[in-house]
Amino acid sequence: MIEIDLHMLQIILSIVALLIAIIGHEVAHGYAALCYGDKTAKLLGRLSINPLVHIDLLGSILVPGLLYISGAPFLFGWAKPVPINNRKVFVGGGFNGLSVVASAGIAYNLALAFLAGFLLQWFAFPDWVMIFLAQLLLVNVVLAVFNAWPIPPLDGSWILSYQFSRFGIMGLQRFYERVGNYGMLVLIAVLAFEPLRSLFFAPALWLLEFLA
């Protein structure tokens, strides 16, 4: 009976950690855009921490559910993207402002991962808190590394694209936009096949070793 309770507790804490990671990731984009004068997300109520306004059927429910059923070592997913008006952000901050908005979600996940790692290393908490912090560390590291890759439509691709435009490297920018049309196919191939999948998540393992 105790083992069942602990198992259910771990599932619940994993789901809570995942929601904190993916919802905070999107809200961070919205707040960064707000700092540059774009109130789109705020006016649409997307800066709320209410999960109901962020849940995506595929990314927040089906994908994590399939990962759990398949026995994956971690849960993963995403929330509905927060709407951003790039023109308003550009007026307020130029290409650097656009890059900051694109990287805000990654920064949020890394900050949470470092906080969780610090608390795990230096403090003793009840078991359920330690389990939660471990899940928070794992999910945020995976989400940050996943989004940092410059494969469209991940955040890293937008950061790279904006920097190409900032420095006037328009030939590479146009090439990158054409390649971006196949980004999802590239991403699926990377996640579906070894050793590409292992190489893709290798930085997450290195970061986890450093933090834990």
- Cβ partners under 8 Å of residue 141, min gap 6: 109, 110, 113, 204, 207, 208, 211
Told to judge if 177 belongs to the known catalytic residues of this protein, a careful annotator would answer: no
Task: Dig out the tokens for 28 from the structure.
Answer: 């961070």
Q: For residues 21 and 200, give the distance between their C-alpha atoms in angstroms, rounded to a whole number.
A: 20
Other CB atoms within a 10 A radius of the CB of residue 90 amount to 19
Active-site hit among 26, 177, 194, 209: 26
DSSP run (H or E) holding 13: helix 2-35
Q: For residues 129 and 172, give the distance between their C-alpha atoms in angstroms, rounded to a whole number.
A: 47
User: What letter represents residue 37's amino acid?
Assistant: G
Q: Where in the sequence numbering do the catalytic residues fall?
A: 26
